[in-house]
Chains A and B, each alone.
Chain A
Amino acid sequence: IQMTQSPSSLSASVGDSVTITCRASQDISRFLHWYQQKPGRPPKLLIYSASGLEGGVPSRFSGSGSGTDFTLTISSLRPDDFATYYCQQYNSYSGYTFGQGTKLEI
């Protein structure tokens, strides 16, 4: 299964809201998770199973979607949110795949 994540980069300002999308080439139900990664650090789980908010993650992060189309929305951007974001899917036939990543810049 191929994952198409867009955009690859995104410029925004503190206080803005942004949306990142991931599209799967086949139905993956809700096996879609979102991670945030900062330079030199491992990825951090933000959203699991399309819309579940991981513990400790601010509520300005939200996810939606099912089947093939998914979105990550970050509202009221804060300086700490500028990072790279990845989606990740699982399918029993093809295993695990990450999206190409979205670099969110100021």
Chain B
Amino acid sequence: QLVQSGGEVKKIGASVKVSCKASGYNFSTYAMTWVRQAPGQGLEWIGWISTYNGNANFAQKFQGRLTMTTDSSTKTAYMELRSLTSDDTAVYYCAREETGRRFDPWGQGTLVTVSS
């Protein structure tokens, strides 16, 4: 099970940090991926982090303003996005990456609203 932090309202130019707490499995065995969904839109992959060694890979459009970290002691993954614009308003999901590069399960989602 993946449980995410609550919704956030941020100003343009601010940063947001979303957490994703895992339970019920060996946290360090599976990578964590982050996906977002703007209102009424489709799914967009943001990035991926190894919970084993911290290696991460981000979608090119987020390079330079995205940080992903993990804390094995609390089985929690974090996604921090900086320099927010209104285009970053979306529901952000974490998901466990399984064999074959599939995502299951997913967190419940965290709505991040960016406004002026």
Interface residues of A (CB under 8 A from B): 30-31, 33, 35, 37, 42-45, 48-49, 54, 86, 88, 90, 95-101
Contact = CB atoms under 8 A, between A and B. Distances in A.
A42 B102 contact: no
Nearest to A40: B109
A37 B35 CA distance: 13
A31 B93 contact: no
Contacts of B45: 95-98
Q: Which of B98, B105, B106 has the most CB of A within 10 A?
A: B106
A37 B93 CA distance: 13
10 contacts: A31-B100, A35-B103, A43-B93, A44-B106, A49-B100, A86-B43, A95-B57, A96-B45, A98-B44, A101-B42
Interface residues of B, number: 22
A30 B99 CA distance: 12
B107 to A, nearest CB: 7
B109 A42 contact: yes
B69 interface: no
A100 B43 CA distance: 8
Contacts of A37: 43
A46 B105 CA distance: 11
A88 B102 contact: yes
A31 B57 CA distance: 18
A28 to B, nearest CB: 10
Contact of A86 (B42, B59, B100, B108): B42
A96 B108 contact: no
Given A42-B107, A45-B103, A49-B102, 11 more contacts: A35-B103, A37-B43, A43-B103, A48-B100, A86-B42, A88-B43, A90-B100, A96-B48, A97-B45, A98-B45, A101-B42
Given A43-B43, A101-B42, A96 B101 contact: yes
B51 interface: no
Contacts of B104: 45, 48, 54
